[in-house]
């Protein structure tokens, strides 16, 4: 795929392959450092997607290691600060599909006891819901509703000012997702549940290894999670419980424990990390720097899989652009390195 956004001069990007020799019983092996074009090297990462595509795919907004919410332009790397408030590094950023709203968790680092607030970056204002728990928010597709967390409770604020309470919901393994209409909410956890906000009713979904869900989209036919299990990557119909394998690793292991994955908005592509220890200390541990992480993209219809990046440092969040033409991903080494590549 080609896109004008990739017109950036990547002469200084880390797109070449650097081979680092390692020893193994079968002879020398190599860690391939082919991370792809480097866009930023100061992404604050903590296992959540701390970045989103903005400006129609021309920029990526992220929480920086310098405790700022910034946007970096894909074409030339130019940065701008989006809001003066200090973002909390361990909570993700939520953007509405129409880009009319961008939410994050803000806090005052000078306070003796940190106080966290839900903030809308484009309007440069705190949302009037009081103090919140520093967990990633979620937003409905039409930006009419936003989900936030308080001590022991989950609430959804409607644009009319009405607040809905959600009795049981968790932020893992994937954050809650609204239905296309914004009237329902799916919470994963150990047993996935769909809540209807207007009347507070709930419906449990079939048990489909929801603990292994690592990405989730909800289109017109229903919720569609991506599950990473040791043997396969599965695409699941959450409503019926039916699932199908879209990838089986031939080498290495699926990074399912703390793995990150993504599914494109149109459902055509699934991305995830596969790892392989090239030189082990023991059967339980790998030598430092010898665990190769590979970013894989699978075309769902054909099952065609392609490795688009690899490196020795820990894999991080992965996000497709809205049109599915580009993919952004983080290698976590200290502060995260944010890379962008075209989807092959």
Using a 10 angstrom Cβ sphere, with 0-12 exposed, 13-18 middle and 19 or more buried, the burial of residue 21 is: exposed
Q: Residue 57's CB: how many other CB atoms inside 10 A?
A: 16
- pLDDT band at residue 20 using 50, 70 and 90 as cut-offs: very low
Domain tally for the chain? 1
Average pLDDT over residues 106-125: 94
Spatial contact of 176 and 138, defined as CB atoms under 8 Å apart: yes
**Whole domain around residue 207: which residue ranges?**
4-342
DSSP codes of every residue in 112-124 = SS--EEEEETTTT
Instruction: Write the CATH number for 31.
Output: 2.130.10.10
Angle at 96 between CA 82 and CA 123, to 5 degrees: 40
- pLDDT band at residue 130 using 50, 70 and 90 as cut-offs: very high
- pLDDT mean across residues, the chain: 85
Average pLDDT over residues 44-71: 88
* Residue whose entry in the numeric block shows the structure tokens 């082990």: 280
Q: What is the pLDDT of residue 330?
A: 92
Q: What is the pLDDT of residue 278?
A: 76
Question: Can you give the pTM of this predicted structure?
Answer: 0.86
Q: What is the pLDDT of residue 251?
A: 66
- pLDDT band at residue 58 using 50, 70 and 90 as cut-offs: very high
């Amino acid at each position: 795929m080609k896109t004008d956004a990739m017109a950036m001069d990547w002469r200084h990007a880390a797109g070449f392959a650097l081979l680092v020799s390692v020893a193994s019983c079968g002879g020398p092996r190599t860690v391939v450092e082919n991370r792809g074009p480097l866009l930023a090297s100061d992404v604050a990462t903590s296992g959540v997607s701390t970045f989103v595509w903005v400006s129609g795919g021309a920029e990526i907004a992220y929480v920086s290691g310098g405790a700022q919410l910034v946007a970096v332009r894909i074409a030339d790397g130019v940065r701008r600060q989006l809001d003066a408030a200090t973002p909390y590094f361990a909570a993700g950023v939520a953007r509405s599909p129409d880009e009319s709203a961008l939410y994050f968790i803000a806090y005052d680092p000078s306070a003796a006891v940190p106080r966290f607030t839900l903030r809308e970056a484009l309007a440069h204002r705190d949302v009037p819901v009081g103090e919140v728990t520093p967990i990633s928010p979620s937003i409905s597709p039409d930006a009419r509703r936003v989900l936030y967390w308080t001590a022991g409770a989950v609430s959804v604020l409607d644009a009319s000012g009405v607040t809905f309470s959600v009795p049981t919901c968790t932020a893992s393994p994937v954050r809650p997702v609204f239905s296309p209409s914004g009237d329902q909410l799916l919470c994963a956890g150990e047993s996935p549940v769909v809540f209807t906000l207007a009347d507070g009713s709930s419906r449990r979904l079939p048990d489909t290894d929801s603990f292994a869900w690592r990405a989730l989209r909800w289109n017109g036919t229903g919720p569609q999670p991506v599950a990473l299990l040791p043997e396969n990557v599965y695409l699941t119909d959450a409503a019926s419980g039916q699932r199908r394998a879209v990838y089986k690793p031939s080498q290495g292991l699926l990074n399912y424990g703390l793995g990150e994955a993504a599914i494109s908005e149109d459902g055509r592509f699934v991305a995830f990390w596969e790892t392989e220890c090239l030189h082990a200390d023991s059967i339980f541990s790998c030598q430092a720097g010898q665990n190769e992480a590979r970013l894989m993209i699978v075309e769902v219809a054909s099952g065609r899989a392609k490795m688009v990046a690899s490196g020795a440092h820990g894999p991080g969040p992965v996000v497709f652009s809205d049109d599915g033409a580009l993919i952004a991903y983080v290698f976590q080494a200290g502060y995260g390195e944010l890379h962008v590549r075209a989807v092959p």
